[in-house]
Structure formats: structure tokens, C-alpha cells
Structure 1
Amino acid sequence: MKKHGRNSVRKMKKPVKKNSREEISQELNFERALKKIEYQDNKIND
């Protein structure tokens, strides 16, 4: 039972880490895109 429990915990943890990494990268890309849009807007306004 203990061995099975450990394996199931590992299987549960791995995809969570992968998802959080993907979410973080998506958030970073989104922030970069927003900054680019703001920069372009400022350029047009100036």
C-alpha cells in the first residue's frame, strides 16, 4: 500500500508542476504582449 501511495502521489505531482510552469509562461507571455501594446500605444500618442 505504501509503495502504491507514493507512486500515485508522484503521478499526481508531476502534471501539476507542468501545468503551473505552462501557466507561468503563459502569464509572462501575456504580460510581455501587454507591455508591447502599451509601448506601441505610447509611441503612437507621442
Structure 2
Amino acid sequence: EYLKEKESFEKKITILKDDLQKEEFKNIDRELALEKVVKELNNIVFKRN
């Protein structure tokens, strides 16, 4: 019984870690996309001045 609970708990931890890692990658992708937009906007602003 204890081993089953422990195994189940370890599986849940693994799933949570995977989910967190996926979310972190999404956030990194969003951040990179935003940085690209900022660069493009800066180029537009500086070209006008």
C-alpha cells in the first residue's frame, strides 16, 4: 500500500515538473517574441526621428 502511494506520488511529481517545464518554455518563447516586437518598434521610432 505504501509503495503504491509513493509510486503514485512520484508520478504526480514528474507530471507537475513536466508541466512546469513546458510552461517555462512557453514563457521563454513569449519573451523572445516580445523582445522582437520591441526591437521592431524601436526601429520604427528611431527611423522617424
* TM over 0.5, shorter chain: yes
Q: How many residues align?
A: 45
Q: How much is the aligned-residue C-alpha RMSD, in angstroms?
A: 0.8
Q: Which amino acid aligns with 2:6?
A: K
Q: Which amino acid aligns with 1:12?
A: L
Cα distance in structure 2, aligned partners of 1:15 and 1:43:
42
Matched, 1:17 2:15: no
Specify every segment of 5 or more residues in structure 2 that has no aligned partner in the other structure, as ranges. none
Q: TM-score, normalised by structure 2?
A: 0.81
Specify every segment of 5 or more residues in structure 1 that has no aligned partner in the other structure, as ranges. none
Q: Which has the larger radius of gyration?
A: 2
Deviation beyond 2 Å, 4+ runs, structure 1:
none
C-alpha offsets along residues 6-25 of structure 1, whole Å, 9 cap, x if unaligned?
Answer: 10111111111111100111
